[in-house]
Amino acid sequence: MNLRGARALISRTWMRNLSGWGFEWMLAFGHLIETLVYMFVWVTIARQKSLPGIERDELVVYYLIMMVLHEITYPGAHYSIGAAIRSGGFSTWLLRPLSPIFSVIASDLADKAISVSFTLLTTFILGLVLQPAIHFTFANFLLFLLAAALAYFLRFLQAYVLALLAFWTERADAFLKLSDTLLFIFAGQVAPFALLPHGLQVIAAILPYRYMLGFPVEVLQGQLSPAQLGQGFLMLLAWIGLSLLAHQVIWKRGLRRYSAVGG
């Protein structure tokens, strides 16, 4: 692996994207809106009646952490893959000494260096205004870092696999949007996992989306038993393994198709 080339690619992409920091901040603000709406909805409900197993301050902290985690893990750069494949620009990526995935990683990290700063600032201000009680243990914080890193890898890899479907269809972006919708429902943005109806909890426990957002936040807040922690990390690793397998299959077959049609 050409690490020097990877660092240079990320640095060059970051410098290019820095000129559009205002646009990146606007995108980050758009990502915050839905989460903010549901945070205030649940906080209002919590003031009016008792919610099972969760307090008002826990809800506020849950959604504040989720806003940051969502921005860190959001794979926005993947929408450029379909355009590159359709336009033939993907051929330029293939000529580079690095795998095309590094171009996506570079763009993704460069975007996040700008957008995450806005999200952190917004979250800090909201924390000062709402003043929730915060209770984290060091052990849970370390487990959260591990879960968040795995969640980023899973979300990035799944989006990359879906974006590669552009080898076969011009509507590959629709799969990314569908994935975003399912994540919004099952990852804990609409409601924390504990507040979902039982049927949705069963589905959320099987699908990968909860482990991209809700699970790491629950880990940090100490809401899970040791058995639930173990099961959650196993599901994360299982979905990462399936995504890696899907990537290998789709990449090899897609590349052959791209070459066959003159890409």
Question: How many degrees, rounded to 5, is the angle at CA 185 between CA 38 and CA 65?
Answer: 50
What pLDDT is stored for residue 239 in this prediction? Answer: 97
Alpha-carbon gap, residue 197 to 165, rounded angstroms? 33
What pLDDT is stored for residue 14 in this prediction? Answer: 55
Beta strands in the chain (DSSP E): none
* Residues in the chain with pLDDT values less than 50: 1
What pLDDT is stored for residue 90 in this prediction? Answer: 78
What pLDDT is stored for residue 114 in this prediction? Answer: 77
Question: How many degrees, rounded to 5, is the angle at CA 37 between CA 36 and CA 39?
Answer: 60
What pLDDT is stored for residue 176 in this prediction? Answer: 87
What pLDDT is stored for residue 137 in this prediction? Answer: 92
Query: Strand, helix or coil at 207?
Result: coil
What pLDDT is stored for residue 146 in this prediction? Answer: 97
DSSP state of 190: S
What pLDDT is stored for residue 212 in this prediction? Answer: 96
Domain boundaries, the chain: 3-260
